[in-house]
Amino acid sequence: MKTFAPLLAPIAASLMLISTTLSAQTCLSDGLETTPDEDFTTITSSTVLHEPTDLVWERCAEGQTWDGSTCDGEAVKYTWQQALKLAQAASDEDLLGWRLPNVKELATIVERDCVRPAVNSTMFPETPPDDFWTSTPSVDDPDRAWVVAFFNASHSIKEKDRFIYVRLVRTYTND
């Protein structure tokens, strides 16, 4: 009986390299960064201040935890109502005013020179390259709300009962 293991090993290695390459962030080498590191200041170990907007952002998506150098664990998806309740509970817990960002606020941390994810990966490591909820409802359809796609920096509206990622924000208050 012949074994194909020696033939399959190089193919498997190539496929793993391709899948790793496809999931890695890609950025323009000569573009002008829209969210450079110098626009951010560390507030706590897990939050950063975006100085141009005076907004404090969680470094990790909900479900992930900051381990001192990166976001660990799996991000969790929520419906729009669940995301709003999650933000209210976070605000009630520490009284700092955490909330779901509106579409304009969330768009301020999109890195337009990068895709998969379209975010400053130093400030927001391990960000899922997918949609994130905003608090902005659709004006045309009460069953939908705006999302920002950290896959390619686009914006769209989605049904509020879909499960989508969340990153909370608050206004800076000289903590």
Give residue-wise pLDDT tens across range 50-84.
999 999 999 999 999 999 999 999 999 999 999 99
The predicted model gives 99-108 an average pLDDT of 97
| Mean of pLDDT over the chain | 88
Contacts of 91 (CB under 8 A, 6+ apart): 97, 98, 99, 170
Cα–Cα nearest to 117, from 23, 18, 6:
23
The predicted model gives 34-60 an average pLDDT of 96
pLDDT of 151-175, one tens digit each? Answer: 999 999 999 999 999 999 999 987 5
**CATH number of the domain residue 86 falls in:** 3.10.100
Domain containing residue 82: 27-171
pLDDT of 22-34, one tens digit each? Answer: 458 998 988 889 9
Q: Is the pLDDT of residue 118 over 60?
A: yes
Confirm whether 149 is domain-assigned: yes
Contacts of residues 30-38 at CB distance under 8 Å and 24 or more positions apart, as own/partner, are: 31/112, 31/113, 32/113, 33/111, 33/113, 33/120, 34/110, 34/111, 34/112, 34/113, 35/108, 35/109, 35/110, 35/111, 35/119, 35/120, 35/123, 36/120, 37/120, 37/122, 37/123
Confirm whether 128 is domain-assigned: yes
Domain count of the fold of the chain: 1
Q: Is-contact 57 64, C-beta < 8 A?
A: no
Predicted TM-score (pTM) of the model is: 0.84
